Amino acid sequence: MKTVPIISAEKAASLVKDGDIILGGGFGMTGNPVNIIHELAKTKTKDLTFIANNVGEPNMGGGRLLNNGQLKKMIGSFFTSNREAVLAAQEGRVEYELLPQGTLAEAIRAGGAGIGGFYTPTSAGTLIAEGRETKMLNGKEQVFIEGIRGNVAIIRAWKADTAGNLQYRMTEQNFNRAMATAADIVIAEVQEIVPNGEIDPNEIHTPGCFVDYLVERKLTEEDLGSSASVGSSKVIDEKRMNMAKRAFAELEKGDVVNLGIGIPTLVADLIKPEDGIILHTENGMLGVGPEPKDGGGAMYYPVNAGKVPVTALPGSSYFDSADSFAMIRGGHIDVAIMGGLEVDAQGNLANWSVPGKPLLGVGGAMDLASGAKKLIITLRHTDRDGGSKVVENCTLPITDFSCVDMLITELAVFKFIDGQLTLIEILPGSTLEEVREKTEAKFVEQLSK
């Protein structure tokens, strides 16, 4: 059995050269090889292309490389969680490329598997797909995405043996597993290195043949950024809760459900064990439970796609981001409940970008909108200026086309019946006259008497 060199974080950082393409593991700061990245930030290495789900958090992980001016380009799914990265992109100080989260994960997996590229329906017809080759497959427009490989992958695992076999913990697999296969040099930062034979072969997630170097560095709560504790920022008021309750009423026992950020997170608080609803999160967990009652963070608990620590229900499972989005695109998610910025009369959804605003990230929204069997959108009926968000035609960048099945606002519930926006219910505190007045889109009324 081979023995993988064990090196210092400083030595690992020295293996990165000017102009390299870096694959950086992690989802937020969970499963993030923060110690090696911070050592890289102490060097003069420059002109790097940094590929990761997001560029760390402000001055943490990839965020520190950004602030040092070491990044030439960043490629990722969700930069919005690091305002410094958004500002650098919008001011033109760093090049950037946005990919939907599932597309990014699959592109890395393809690169690691020696596959030149693949077609996906995700992002077809949107701004994200501009300039890319498309083809009609199975009656759907699909976008060609090239596989992604890097010069160096810097990943994080929980345990390694001296042969380089890796074991991950909880939701720390995320992008790490795919990235371990997709670079010329793979460096794994781990919590613990044990002798060969101490990890059961059944419990190895990344075989040692992929790993070139090991770095043993203990994780601390300071390394976890915003996921170090629960710190919930949920906004709860009567109207938001009414929307969440109405969305919850659409769920059936046995449904596999994905909840977006914002109002949809309130639905999780309504689910009881006897409901038999299985929550899915894009960063690699099925069977998401409530937030920890002890306030503990990602040192002890998994995190959801909002980077909030959660608990694991009996029967839950962990996997990586590529497998998570295979579930989504493969039609294994029964219901997705997401927030929105606009929904129009054709069932088109806009929920990821507002020109001129500090938003720069599509996350998993495009994958979920096109892949979930049923899509429920919750949004405020009007914007701060009183303008309708239920519009005849979306004016904001589109997430996906003709994808919305149900729309729930604080005023009313709409369904798309035979392709027609149809009002089916008035919510408490509203009137039919108010709904008519505040809805720009034309709609049919089918209210039960």
At 43-92, the pLDDT tens digits run 999 999 999 999 999 999 999 999 999 999 999 999 988 999 999 999 99
Q: Are 442 and 421 in contact (CB under 8 A)?
A: yes
Mean pLDDT across 293-303: 90
Separation of alpha carbons 444 and 421, rounded Å: 6
DSSP run (H or E) holding 324:
helix 321-329
Q: Quote the percentage of the chain above a pLDDT of 70.
A: 98
- DSSP string spanning 28-64? TTBT--HHHHHHHTTS---SEEEESSS--BTTBTHHH
With bands split at pLDDT 50, 70 and 90, how would you rate the model's confidence at 295?
A: confident
Q: Is the pLDDT of residue 232 over 60?
A: no
* Options 39, 57, 282, 342, the catalytic residue: 282
Three-state SS at 124: coil
- Which amino acid, one-letter code, is at 107? A
d(CA 152, CA 20): 7
Q: From CA 422, how far away is CA 407, in angstroms rounded?
A: 10
| Distance from C-alpha of 381 to C-alpha of 414, rounded to nearest angstrom | 11
Query: What would the 3-class secondary structure string for 334-402 be?
Result: CEEEEECCEEECCCCEECCCCCCCCCCECCCHHHHHHHCCEEEEECCCECCCCCECEECCCCCCCCECC
* pLDDT at position 231: 66
Label residue 177 by pLDDT band (50, 70, 90). Answer: very high
Q: Are 328 and 102 in contact (CB under 8 A)?
A: yes
pLDDT score of 353 = 84
pLDDT at 80: 86
What pLDDT was estimated at residue 233? 58
**What is the per-residue pLDDT for 413?**
97
pLDDT (mean) for 318-340: 96
Determine which of 26-30, 360-364, 419-423, 425-429 has the lowest per-residue pLDDT on average. Answer: 360-364
What tens digit of pLDDT does each residue of 353-390 get?
Answer: 887 777 788 999 999 999 999 999 999 999 999 999 99
Cβ atoms of 156 and 300 closer than 8 Å: no
pLDDT band at 441 (very low <50, low <70, confident <90, very high): very high
Report residue 139's pLDDT band, with 50, 70 and 90 as the boundaries. very high
Cα 268 from Cα 385, distance rounded (Å)? 30
pLDDT of residue 361: 86
Average pLDDT over the chain, rounded to whole? 94
Give the per-residue pLDDT at 226: 83
Helix (H, G, I), strand (E, B) or coil at 303: strand
Torsion of CA 86, 116, 133, 322, to 10 degrees: -50
- Per residue in 271-280, pLDDT tens? 988 999 999 9
Q: Is 146 a catalytic residue?
A: no
